[in-house]
Amino acid sequence: MQKTIDVFKEELGGIRAGRVSPTLIEKVEVMAYGQPMELRQVALISVQGSTTLVVQPFDQSTHDAIFKALEMANLGAMPTSDGRVIRLNFPPMSQERRAEMVKLVHKFAEEAKVAVRNIRRDLNKKVDAKQKDGEYSEDQARRIKDEIQKVTDEFISKIDDMVKHKEQEIME
């Protein structure tokens, strides 16, 4: 269940709130050295102001590949280059775009909740099987299922808290 939360947190990091963040582009795939690599493996990504990301390639030979990957990534910002560094200027988010981002957050949250519930279902099936085999008494099975439900509720609550926080970030 913790892994589900970690994946959800990573997905939220890729959603732009009011200001830009390196997490928006760090997983953009770049063809460098003959193989696909994440942008964060071939360049330094930094924030300049609230709407600009600066990408500095570690090796200038990868500059053109990085520029092309950023153009193709459909990030809502066109990259510009001075030959050494690449800048991505993101326009301020409109209210309509903010609403789209909130919808996306809710979609990711629902997927995470479904994953947590699927884990609960699988664990409950295992408890039922062990009860049927005589490893657990009915009382033991009930206690274990109650504990599983309690943990599930905690993780669902964590997801809800993360959604609230991200919504506030987006609407600022």
Determine the average pLDDT of the residues in 2-21: 77
Query: Rounded to an integer, what distance in angstroms lies between the CA atom of residue 42 and that of residue 62?
Result: 8
Which domains, ranges and CATH numbers included, belong to the chain?
19-89 (3.30.1360.40), 95-171 (1.10.132.20)
Asked if pLDDT for residue 75 goes beyond 70, the answer is yes
Query: Rounded to an integer, what distance in angstroms lies between the CA atom of residue 129 and that of residue 141?
Result: 10
Amino acid at 134: G
**23 — pLDDT class (breaks 50, 70, 90):** confident
**17 — pLDDT class (breaks 50, 70, 90):** low
User: What percent of the chain lies above the pLDDT cut of 90?
Assistant: 41
**Is the pTM for the entire model greater than 0.75?**
no
Under 8 Å between Cβ of 119 and 148: no
pLDDT of residue 11: 79
